[in-house]
Amino acid sequence: MPRRKRTAGSSSDGTADSDDSAEPEKTDSGSHSDPTVRSSARLTRASLRLSQSSQDAPPDVKQIERDESPPRTPTGNAPSSESDIDISSPNASHDEGAAKDHKDSGSDPSHRPKRRRFHESYNFNMKCPTPGCNSLGHLTGKHERHFSISGCPLYHNLSADECKVKATERDKQEDERSQTHNEDNRHATRHQAPTPRQVKYKEKVQEIRKRRDTGLTKEQKEKYMEHRQTHGTTREPLLENITSEYDLELFRKAQARASDDLEKLRMQGQITEGSNMIKTILFGRYELDTWYHSPYPEEYARLGRLYVCEFCLKYMKSQTILRRHMAKCVWKHPPGDEVYRQGAISVFEVDGKKNKIYCQNLCLLAKLFLDHKTLYYDVEPFLFYVMTEADNTGCHLVGYFSKEKNSFLNYNVSCILTMPQYMRQGYGKMLIDFSYLLSKVEEKVGSPERPLSDLGLISYRSYWKEVLLRYMYNFQGKDISIKEISQETAVNPVDIVSTLQSLQMLKYWKGKHLVLKRQDLIDEWKAKETKRGTNNKTIDPGSLKWTPPKGT
pLDDT tens-digit series, residues 182-204: 776 665 555 667 788 888 888 88
Listed residue (149, 162, 159, 301) closest to 233, CA to CA: 149
**Mean pLDDT, the chain, whole residue set:** 74
| 541 CB-near residues (< 8 Å, 6+ apart) | 437, 440
Whether the CB-CB separation of 268 and 57 falls below 8 Å is answered with yes
List, for residues 38-58, the tens digit of each pLDDT value: 444 544 444 444 344 444 444
Q: Which residue did the predictor score with more confidence, 358 or 239? A: 358
Please tell me whether the peptide bond between 451 and the residue prior to it is cis, using omega within 30 degrees of 0.
yes
- Provide the pLDDT for residue 310: 94
The pLDDT > 90 percentage for the chain reads 22
When mean pLDDT is compared across 143-147, 218-222, 476-480, 493-497, the lowest value belongs to 476-480
The residues that bridge with 341 in the sheet, in sequence order, are 346
pLDDT of the residue at 390:
93
Q: Is 464 exposed, middle or buried (0-12, 13-18, 19+ CB in 10 A)?
A: buried
Tell me the average pLDDT across 510-518.
Answer: 79
Per-residue pLDDT tens digits for 14-28: 333 434 333 344 444
Answer yes or no: is pLDDT of 287 > 70. yes
* Half-sphere exposure at residue 233, Cβ-oriented, CA atoms within 13 angstroms: 7
- Could you tell me which residue, 409 or 63, shows the higher pLDDT? 409
Closest CA to 361 of 327, 292, 315: 315
Contact predicate 328/461, CB 8 Å: no
CATH number of 274-331: 3.30.60.60
DSSP 465: H
432 has pLDDT over 80: yes
H/E/C letters for each residue in 82-151? HHHCCCCCCCCCCCHHHHHCCCCCCCCHHHCCCCCCHHHHCCCCCCCCCCCCCCECCCCCCCCECCCHHH
What dotted CATH number matches 332-543? 3.40.630.30
Q: How far apart are CA 142 and CA 260, in angstroms?
A: 9
Q: What region does 454 belong to: left with phi over 0, alpha with psi -120 to 50, or beta?
A: alpha
515 forms beta bridges with 506
Is this structure's pTM higher than 0.85? no
Half-sphere exposure of 363 (CA within 13 A, CB side): 32
Extents of the domains making up the chain: 127-175+217-271, 274-331, 332-543
Q: Which pLDDT value is given to residue 174?
A: 85
User: Which of 110-119, 182-191, 287-296 tops mean pLDDT?
Assistant: 287-296
Q: What are the catalytic residues? A: 449
Question: Of all residues in the chain, what percent carry a pLDDT higher than 70?
Answer: 70
Closest to 101 in 3D by CA, of 143, 59, 65: 59
Per-residue pLDDT tens digits for 520-548: 888 888 888 888 766 668 899 999 999 88
Strand-strand pairing, 280-283 and 305-308: parallel
Average pLDDT over residues 107-121: 38
Q: What is the mean pLDDT of residues 121-133?
A: 65
Q: Which of 63-72, 103-112, 390-399 has the highest mean pLDDT?
A: 390-399
Distance in angstroms (rounded) separating the CA atoms of residues 35 and 39:
9
Q: How confident is the model at residue 483, as a pLDDT?
A: 87
- The whole-number average pLDDT for the span 291-308 is 86
Instruction: Pick 526 or 64 by higher pLDDT.
Output: 526
pLDDT in tens, 325-366: 999 999 999 999 999 999 999 999 999 999 999 999 999 999
